Amino acid sequence: MGSRCLAVASCRLSRTSPTRRQMALPALLFAAVVVVVSVALILKKWPLIRDIEKLPGPVAFPFIGSTYVYALRGREELAVVFDGLADKYWPIFRTWLGHTPELHLMKAEYVEKIMSSSELITKGPIYTFLKPWLGDGLLISTGTKWHLRGKMLTPAFHFKILDNFTDVFAEKSEIMIDILRSKADGSSFDIYPYITRCALDIICETAMGTSVDAQRGSQSAYVSAVYSTSEMLLKRGLSPWLHSDFVYKRTSAGKQFFKNLDILHGFTKKVINERKLSRQSSKQNTTADNVDEFGRKRRVAFLDMLLEASVGYRKLTDEEIQEEVDTFMFEGHDTTSVGMAWTIFLLGHHLDIQEKVHAELNEIFGRDTRKRPTMQDLNNMKYLEMVIKESLRLYPSVPFIAREITQDVEVAGYNIPKGTMALMHIRRVHRDPQHWPDPERFDPDRFLPDRVQGRHPYASVPFSAGLRNCIGQRFAILEEKTVLSYILRNFRVQSVERIEDVKVVGELVLRSFNGTYVRLTPR
Query: What residues are designated binding site?
Result: 470
Cα–Cα separations (whole angstroms), residue 367 to 339, 461, 522: 26, 35, 13
User: Interior CA angle at 522 toward 516 and 523, to 5°?
Assistant: 115
Cα–Cα separations (whole angstroms), residue 276 to 134, 237, 270, 283, 303: 21, 36, 10, 11, 9
Among candidate residues 124, 125, 123, 132, the one with its CA nearest the CA of residue 326: 132
- Say how far residue 170 (Cα) sits from the centre of its chain: 25
Among candidate residues 432, 514, 483, the one with its CA nearest the CA of residue 203: 483
The set of residues, in sequence order, having a beta carbon less than 8 Å from that of 240 and lying 6+ positions away, is 63, 64, 65, 67, 97, 98
| Cβ neighbours of 492 (radius 10 Å) | 19
**Which H or E element spans position 495?**
strand 491-495
Asked if residue 406 lies in contact with residue 122, where contact means CB atoms within 8 angstroms, the answer is yes
CA 28, CA 35: separation in Å to the nearest integer? 10
Cβ burial of 279 (10 Å; 0-12, 13-18, 19+) is middle
Residue numbers belonging to the annotated binding site for heme? 470
372 secondary structure, DSSP code: P
Asked if residue 115 lies in contact with residue 466, where contact means CB atoms within 8 angstroms, the answer is yes
The set of residues, in sequence order, having a beta carbon less than 8 Å from that of 515 and lying 6+ positions away, is 190, 192, 193
